[in-house]
Chains A and B, each alone.
Chain A
Amino acid sequence: MPSIIYIEHDGTEHAVEVPIGHSVMLGAVENNIPGIDADCGGECACATCHVFVDPAWLALCGTPGEQESSMLSFAATAAPNSRLSCQIPVTEALDGLIVRMPEAQH
């Protein structure tokens, strides 16, 4: 099972195994990792599972769609490597993926 590394805003690291096909968001929620709220439950309808993807992994995560880009544009602290983690499906190629959480979800 691929291992995903979630780093909270205060630097706390969580490495957990997430099944292939789950989203990066779901991996955090199912493991009770703080910092990802996922209010809409993975519908790309809020921006509360916002993460910064480690630049080395960015290309492997694909590019955000139109709806995701819209939602991200309203996030408080968006950056070029921002993604909504509900829109990143976990694959074998993402084993070792590092994502960092923003100061707050909005």
Chain B
Amino acid sequence: MSALASTHHAELAATTPLEELDVSDPALYRDDVWQPYFARLRREAPVHHCRNGMFGPYWSISTYKEIVQAELLHKVLSSESALGGISIRDRPADLRLPMFIAMDPPRHDEQRRAVQPIVAPANLAKLEHLIRERACRILDELPRNETFNWVDKVSVELTVQMLATLFDFPQEERRKLSYWSDCATALPMPGGIIETEEQREAVFAEMLASFMGLWNARVNAEPGNDLISMLAHAPATRHMSPREFMGNLVLLIVGGNDTTRNSITGGVLFLNQNPEEYAKLRANPALVESMVPEIIRYQTPIAHMRRTAIADVEFAGHTIREGDKVVMWYISGNRDEAAIEQPDRFIIDRKRPRQHLSFGFGIHRCVGNRLAELQLTILWQEILKRFDRIEVVGPEKRVHSTFIHGITELPVRIPA
């Protein structure tokens, strides 16, 4: 962000009456100016009610400790898709998709357990070699002395190849996965990748049709080691409705794609913004291990998770009423000075770097966290073997979203 914009938003954040502060505007994230608003909420109103938010009234929880506490209240703070699910923006009631992240126990637990084996230690060990081979190939083919978009050539490419493997989806059609992922999370707007909810439904129908063939083949075969086979054979998911299958596909595609993609991009950006950290890393490549969780914290690829109260609940001195929308801002909790030392600094060798909110906590904690870390770790190990520097040569372009905290373009150049 420019210094001028930064000053303007610092002023606005300081002078807006507290009850009018609305952190749900996606432009705050597209323009990367969300920081001072949350600094004020954390200081003055860690649990804050906004009456006139862009997506309706909602509670904000912005401090680390309170977010963890809210995560544990899954009995009163529901994730149920029919109530609005996990994102601040409500989709039209008839278009809400059931998926296990947007379910409460016991259905959530049963369906989640169906896919959990994909990230068991033995399976991750098997994937490690494949990831390294692919990372090497992607990096070796990068142009030198030439400006290119790191997001497209590396971040999307590596994560989408991985996702195709996890689904045992045809590799030659892998870019469909990132397209569906982008469509799933896009805010409908004129000129956008998705202009209306109806258009999104049509894309989802196309996605479902594409996966239905894979499902039919796998449900009649011996249980395999891919996500579709796991869903087709697990008692909790084998009789899912097509809509539930669609929902879980969206979940696994977005979860396995958008998040790691944006952390891969974020890492390059942060090291360029912090040259002393980049020098530290070059001098000691073993720091990749602590840098990876630090990248995931600093990026916070999912800015928030939303819940809906299904009963009145006393929370940190406030009464949250049945039906209220509650938003846990991971992006803010990860910058909470009460929980993390110098939280606004990117420090690749900080103590206890895994203590962050990016994966969420409680029963909905990210299933793929270790796989995400594995991909980032291998990619950075291989980058350091090859390139002295990856230079960011122009401003990044960010996603216009309150939910996905992401980067669509990062122009870089690798000196020959």
Mark A residues whose CB is within 8 Å of B: 37, 39-41, 43-48, 67, 70-71, 73-74, 76-77, 102-104, 106
Contacts and interface: CB of A to CB of B under 8 A. Distances in A.
Interface in B353-374: 354-355, 359, 361-363, 365, 367, 369-370
A73 to B, nearest CB: 6
Contacts of B121: 76-77, 102-104, 106
Contacts of B120: 76-77
Nearest to B363: A70
A39 to B, nearest CB: 5
Given A47-B365, A74-B367, 11 more contacts: A39-B355, A40-B355, A44-B72, A46-B365, A67-B72, A73-B113, A74-B365, A76-B121, A103-B121, A104-B370, A106-B369
Interface of B: 68-69, 71-72, 105, 109, 112-113, 116, 119-121, 124, 354-355, 359, 361-363, 365, 367, 369-370
A103 B124 CA distance: 12
Contacts of B113: 73-74
A73 B109 contact: yes
B313 to A, nearest CB: 16
Contacts of B369: 106
A10 to B, nearest CB: 13
Contact of B363 (A39, A43, A74, A104): A74
A47 to B, nearest CB: 8
Given A74-B116, A103-B121, A43 B370 contact: no
Shortest beta-carbon contacts, A-B, top 3: A45-B361, A104-B121, A103-B121
Contacts of A40: 68, 355, 361
B119 A106 contact: yes
Nearest to A71: B363
Contacts of A70: 105, 109, 363
B373 to A, nearest CB: 11
A40 B339 CA distance: 11
Contact of A45 (B112, B119, B354, B362): B362
A45 B355 contact: no
A37 B69 CA distance: 19
Contact of B72 (A43, A74, A102): A43
